[in-house]
Amino acid sequence: MRRLPPGWRKAVLSVHVIASVGWLGVHACLVALLAIGLAADGPARAGAAYTAAGMLVQTLVAPVSLTSLGTGLVLSSATPWGLFRHYWVAAKLVLTILLVFGSNLSLGPAVVEMAAAAQGGTAVPPDSDRLRYVVALSVALCALLAATLLSTVKPFGRIRPPQRG
């Protein structure tokens, strides 16, 4: 396994932390904006919240999520932590992959569609669907928080190699 020189490791780690915290912040903002849109007292206010949420999705979700995943893969494969040496790294990898796909292929496009509907003056989805998006994004936010906690607490220890014999 190739190791990253210390300077490169610190640079990649810094980019990883910045992207991951940015992703966490974007999701928190999306939850807040969709909740504001759901509770809005009029279509103009709801439309403004959904438009802002759509802009966040279109400009930030893919770059921060993919940067977080990419730098995490580099760090785990080119440092002593390893990709499948510690349970916390493997758990974080699974969470991150699920979140990248969920954010970019499911939740993100739904938010963009709501924003387009609000901007175009067409009907936004019913309250039950909008509540479902708030809940789904809240679950994604909790998963991002769990990944953050895994990074700082590093629980569960090492993955044991299979016994030969």
Domain boundaries, the chain: 6-153
Does 31 score more than 80 pLDDT? yes
Q: Is the pLDDT of residue 161 over 80?
A: no
Which tens digits make up the pLDDT trace of 104-136? 999 999 999 999 988 887 777 788 889 999 999
Q: Answer whether residue 165 shows pLDDT above 70.
A: no
Strand, helix or coil for residue 115: helix
Nearest to 112 by CA among 37, 43, 154, 58: 58
* Average pLDDT, integer, range 6-11: 94
- The whole-number pLDDT of residue 1 equals 60
| pLDDT for the residue 160 | 82
pLDDT tens profile 64-89: 999 999 999 999 989 888 888 999 99
Q: Is 135 helix (H, G, I), strand (E, B) or coil?
A: helix
Q: What is the sign of the dihedral through the CA atoms of 26, 108, 144 and 63? A: negative
Letter string b/e over residues 74-109, b meaning 16 or more CB atoms within 10 A of that residue's CB = bbbebbeeebeebebbbebbebbeebbebbeeebbe
